[in-house]
């Protein structure tokens, strides 16, 4: 059984015991989070698809660690003006351990 969830504006395929990196949720390490934006729930005997979300279904996960992603370099230049700028950005993320997929029906 697996589910398709939405968090941070992105969609992830998760199953029990899997680990995923998502956008920073502002939670502490060791805390538990419930994600109720489940787009689809796929079981062995078929699937349930929401419009837009599956009612009564939630995914419980635990925060394992917080960190920063790889550095992305942004280079800006204006032609004929001798203007160059190099900046970097590291997106914060949270690593989640999926504990349970709870079906509401």
> pLDDT band at 105, cuts 50/70/90?
low
pLDDT tens track for 74-87: 999 999 999 999 99
pLDDT surpassing 90 at residue 103: no
Distance of CA 34 to the CA centre of its chain: 12
Pick from 59, 63, 65: nearest CA to 15: 59
Is residue 78 a part of any domain in this protein?
Answer: no
Taking the whole predicted model, whether its pTM rises above 0.75 is answered as: yes
Is residue 79 a part of any domain in this protein?
Answer: no
Is residue 73 a part of any domain in this protein?
Answer: no
pLDDT tens track for 14-66: 999 999 999 999 999 999 999 999 999 999 998 999 989 999 999 999 999 99
Give the count of domains, the chain: 1
Do 59 and 35 form a contact (C-beta atoms < 8 A)?
A: yes
Do 89 and 74 form a contact (C-beta atoms < 8 A)?
A: yes
Do 38 and 11 form a contact (C-beta atoms < 8 A)?
A: no
Contacting residues for 45 by C-beta, under 8 A, at least 6 apart:
none
Is residue 48 a part of any domain in this protein?
Answer: yes
Is residue 12 a part of any domain in this protein?
Answer: yes
Residue ranges making up the domain that contains 6: 2-67+93-102
> pLDDT band at 104, cuts 50/70/90?
confident
Is residue 28 a part of any domain in this protein?
Answer: yes
Is residue 54 a part of any domain in this protein?
Answer: yes
| Residue 25: HSE in the Cβ half-sphere, 13 Å Cα cutoff | 24
Is residue 72 a part of any domain in this protein?
Answer: no
């Amino acid at each position: 059984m697996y589910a398709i969830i939405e968090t941070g504006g992105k969609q992830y395929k998760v199953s029990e015991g899997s680990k995923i990196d998502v956008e920073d949720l502002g939670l502490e390490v060791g805390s538990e989070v419930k994600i109720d934006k489940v787009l689809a729930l796929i079981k062995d005997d078929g699937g349930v698809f929401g419009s837009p979300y599956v009612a009564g279904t939630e995914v419980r996960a635990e925060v394992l660690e917080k960190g920063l992603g790889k550095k992305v370099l942004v280079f800006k230049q204006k032609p004929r003006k001798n203007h160059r700028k190099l900046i970097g950005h590291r997106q914060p993320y949270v690593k989640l351990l999926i504990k349970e997929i709870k079906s509401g029906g």
